[in-house]
């Protein structure tokens, strides 16, 4: 199989070729590794290559799942696996090894996918760009190498958009699947809180705001992998409402006609970039043409308080991760161990008490109730995914130690990505759909639904994909680098 043939297939189509005997898993792995060799020097997206592990996995007999033989990459943050050490985006945590596989990796492996490496992430997963010092340089966007592919699953977004793999693991605690999806012209879905397992290494991530997910070219790929991975693991402290029929069956037919609320500004009324707002208006017209009812809506909730609470919770989570790493290594923090933003997060966390942390969790829960009320009057909330086009490299690097300003200050993370974290806080499902384009760059369209309505939301995403197909819309980089 040639690289040109490989990039024209999504993961489902590649698995069908394997099932028919038209290509072998080893041949697909050959192409994926050739793509890494050709493209990764320009992208800096793939790390921890483990070809020998992937070859052994194939030789030992792949599990008969829906993605049997398809090359796959894990994010270099979470998804703990015995055979795949991780830097977790940090020099302090470089080459961390694991004594057992995480539940999410066990389920990914059961899909038959052939994992052969990891993808880059910013330190701690707390930024919308992927420029961690441990990787020796920034990860770049295949659409425009001067821009970020997003974060924190930025390496995953770059690898899928560039055609290294058709589908990759990510995670999302404040938009970390949806931001790269919007930046790289991909589909990204954040499921209802606790839809996927966190164990055994964690009971919950960031007070329940963080969840695993996937960067995909097609809705059907995401649906199939989510079916493989959904459901609580042993001892989960809580779990999402059960699916009615499953993600893959949900996309077999479009949803009933829906009430859609349209927000073309930030939720507090602040304007977004005009070219971004224009693409959201186009998406609204498409939905109306499909028979859905679209009405203007600006969701009323305490958005600023949510952002402040999110910032406190993540600072405490970052400080805890560093403390645990130092305890394992039996030493104190040294200069150069972590980047500026992480040092700032630790310093900020030290100003907070246990009561402050619990108050922040309470604010997040209150915000979830406020956002739940929005969906009593609409089925879907439509907005941009990002307030601007993908940021230039360097804008969100982690050099600053002013962690609070990095998140909430003028031009900071929340100004750039004001929509995504709202649904991590509320726990509601949300997706970025690659419908838009401006100045030769992707523009993500954000769709969100009520808690537990993952299937309805995914069905709508599939309807949009059928109405305005995007799977063959490739960055020139992908095919021009042969």
Domain boundaries, the chain: 3-480
Is residue 282 part of the annotated active site? The answer reads no
Task: In whole angstroms, give the CA distance from residue 330 to residue 325.
Answer: 9
| Closest to 382 (Cα-Cα) out of 458, 290, 284, 459 | 284
253 by Cβ neighbours in 10 Å (0-12 / 13-18 / 19+) ranks as exposed
Query: Tokens 């966007």 correspond to what residue?
Result: 141
pTM more than 0.85: yes
Sorted by sequence, the CB contacts under 8 Å of residue 206 that are 6+ apart come out as 173, 313, 314, 317, 424
Cα(157)–Cα(119) distance, integer angstroms: 9
pLDDT of 480: 45
Token reading at 154: 């930025």
- The reply to whether 417 belongs to the active site is no
pLDDT 10s digits, 383-437: 999 999 999 999 999 999 999 999 999 999 999 999 999 999 999 999 999 999 9
The residues near 150 (Cβ < 8 Å, ≥ 6 apart) are 128, 129, 130, 141, 157, 176, 179, 180, 181, 182, 183, 184, 390
Q: Residue 59 CB: number of other CB atoms within 10 A?
A: 10
Q: Active site residue: 176, 218, 383, 459, which one?
A: 176
Which region, left, alpha or beta, applies to residue 422 given φ > 0 means left and ψ of -120 to 50 means alpha?
A: alpha
Asked if 405 and 398 count as a contact pair (C-beta separation under 8 A), the reply is no
* Inter-residue contact 421 to 174 (CB < 8 Å): yes
Answer yes or no: are the C-beta atoms of 456 and 221 closer than 8 Å.
no
In 3D space, the residue among 48, 52, 57 whose CA is nearest the CA of residue 85 turns out to be 48
Cα 224 to Cα 249: distance, rounded to the nearest angstrom: 9
Q: Which of 152, 417, 426, 432 is catalytic?
A: 152
Residues 6+ apart with CB under 8 A from 72: 108, 113, 114, 115, 116, 165, 167, 168, 169
Report the pLDDT value the prediction gives residue 476, as an integer from 0 to 100. 76
CA distance 436 to 182: 9
Provide the pLDDT for residue 474.
83
pLDDT at residue 473, rounded to an integer: 87
What's the pLDDT at 290?
98
Burial profile 275-300: b = 16 or more Cβ within 10 angstroms, e = fewer: ebbebbebbbebbeebebebeebbbe
Tokens of 199: 């164990």
Residues lower than pLDDT 70 in the chain? 477-482
For 122-173, the pLDDT digits (tens) are 999 999 999 999 999 999 999 999 999 999 999 999 999 999 999 999 999 9
pLDDT, position 478:
60
**How would CATH label the architecture of 3-480?**
Alpha-Beta Complex (3.90)
Tokens 């055994």 correspond to what residue?
200
What's the mean per-residue pLDDT of the chain?
97
pLDDT at 481: 46
Locate tokens 């130690």: which residue? 401
Cα within 13 Å of Cα(402), Cβ side:
8
**DSSP category for residue 170:** E
Overall size of the chain counted in residues? 482
């Amino acid at each position: 199989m040639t690289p040109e043939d490989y990039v024209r297939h999504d993961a489902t189509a590649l698995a069908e070729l394997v099932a028919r005997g038209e290509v072998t898993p080893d041949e697909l792995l050959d192409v994926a590794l050739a793509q890494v060799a050709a493209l990764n020097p320009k992208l800096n997206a793939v790390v921890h290559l483990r070809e020998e592990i992937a070859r052994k996995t194939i030789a030992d007999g792949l599990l008969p799942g829906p993605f049997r033989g398809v090359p796959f990459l894990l994010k270099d943050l979470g998804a703990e696996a015995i055979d795949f050490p991780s830097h977790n985006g940090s020099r302090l945590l470089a080459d961390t090894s694991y004594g057992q596989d995480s539940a999410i990796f066990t389920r990914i492996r059961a899909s038959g996918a052939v994992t052969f490496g990891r993808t880059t992430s910013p330190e701690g997963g707390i930024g919308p760009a992927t420029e961690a010092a441990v990787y020796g340089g920034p990860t770049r966007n295949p659409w425009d190498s001067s821009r970020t592919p997003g974060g924190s699953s930025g390496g995953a977004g770059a690898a899928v958009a560039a055609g290294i793999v058709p589908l990759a693991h990510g995670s999302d605690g404040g938009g970390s699947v949806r931001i790269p999806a919007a930046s790289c012209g991909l589909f990204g879905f954040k499921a209802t809180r606790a839809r996927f397992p966190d164990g055994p290494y964690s009971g919950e991530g960031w007070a329940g705001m963080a969840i695993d997910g996937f960067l995909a070219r097609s809705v059907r790929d995401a649906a199939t992998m989510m079916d493989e991975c959904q459901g609580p693991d042993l001892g989960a402290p809580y779990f999402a409402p059960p699916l009615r029929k499953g993600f893959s069956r949900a996309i077999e037919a479009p949803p009933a006609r829906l009430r859609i609320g349209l927000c073309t500004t930030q939720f507090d009324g602040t304007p977004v970039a005009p070219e971004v707002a224009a693409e959201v208006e186009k998406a609204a017209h498409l939905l109306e043409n499909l028979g859905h009812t679209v009405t203007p809506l600006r969701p009323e909730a305490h958005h600023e308080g949510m952002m402040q609470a999110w910032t406190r919770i993540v600072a405490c989570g970052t400080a805890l991760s560093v403390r645990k790493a130092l305890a394992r290594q039996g030493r104190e923090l040294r200069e150069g161990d972590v980047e500026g933003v992480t040092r700032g997060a630790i310093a900020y966390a030290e100003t907070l008490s246990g009561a402050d942390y619990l108050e922040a969790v309470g604010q997040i829960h209150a915000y979830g109730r406020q956002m739940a009320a929005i969906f009593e009057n609409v089925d879907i909330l439509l907005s941009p995914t990002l307030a601007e086009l993908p940021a230039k490299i360097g804008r969100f690097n982690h050099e600053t130690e002013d962690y609070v300003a990095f998140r909430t200050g003028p031009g900071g993370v929340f100004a750039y990505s004001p929509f995504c974290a709202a649904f991590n806080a509320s726990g509601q499902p949300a997706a970025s759909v690659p419908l838009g384009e401006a100045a030769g760059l992707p523009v993500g369209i954000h769709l969100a639904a009520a808690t537990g309505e993952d299937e309805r939301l995914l069905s709508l995403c599939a309807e949009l994909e059928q109405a305005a197909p995007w799977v063959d819309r490739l960055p020139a980089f992908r095919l021009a680098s042969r």
